[in-house]
Amino acid sequence: MNVLKRVIPLVTTVFLVSACGLGGGEGQPGDDNSNRSGASTITFELPDGVSEVPDYEPTDGWTKSFTDNPSDPKVVIRVSDDLGRTAEADSTLGVIQTEAMFGGPYGEDFSSEKVSKLEVKNADVGVEASFTTTQEEATVNGTWMFVSNRKSEKVAGVEIIGTGVSPAMVNGIRDSLEYTP
């Protein structure tokens, strides 16, 4: 089962339709060197060569999507201001892991890997989890980063998944993560 096709079934067409219109990131005002993007409450530095899918249709709580190649993605990054599962990051992780293990869009070979605490300013709870699965006999690496603040009762998140995801890419996103609930 092709995991990337299952994870992003609604965006495959969007990737092809919008290939000509993909632009750069959304820089912060006054910072010409910034390639920050994300959602309204959670932002990060976009990796080189990755840009927003402008006509992405929200799915499973993910509201924006980014990719390195619309026609043959090796990296897909999805982001959400509110994943809509629970009010805290750690319990949302549990729900999403369970969905992935039992018939979710990540394929039969989904395997949860390392889970660790994620420290992000303004977050009461932050959690990072890595996972793997397979796609056409290739290893697909993924990482979720979820943050929440008790006052907002919403969980914001970033998902990085693909056959081209490197530890340096994950580190860059983690190190540049900003959260404003």
Average pLDDT over residues 32-55: 88
Residue 33 sits at φ, ψ, to 5 deg, of -90, -5
- Name the pTM for this structure: 0.81
Cα 23 to Cα 49, 61, 132, distances in angstroms? 10, 24, 29
| pLDDT one-digit tens code per residue, 133-173 | 988 888 999 999 999 999 999 999 999 999 999 999 999 99
> Do 19 and 11 contact (CB within 8 A), yes or no?
no
| pLDDT one-digit tens code per residue, 92-141 | 999 999 999 987 788 889 999 999 999 999 999 999 999 999 888 889 99
pLDDT of residue 71: 86
Domain boundaries, the chain: 47-179
- With a cut of 60, say whether residue 29 has pLDDT above it: no
Predicted confidence band at 20 (pLDDT cuts at 50, 70, 90)? Answer: very low
Beta bridge partners of 116: 128
pLDDT of residue 14: 29
Bigger pLDDT: 26 or 142?
A: 142
Q: Is 47 helix (H, G, I), strand (E, B) or coil?
A: coil
User: Range with the lowest mean pLDDT among 24-28, 59-63, 64-68?
Assistant: 24-28
pLDDT of residue 74: 95
Q: What CATH topology corresponds to 47-179? A: Protein Transport Mog1p; Chain A (3.40.1000)
pLDDT of residue 24: 37
Look up residue 32 and give its two tokens. Answer: 């010409």
pLDDT of residue 107: 85
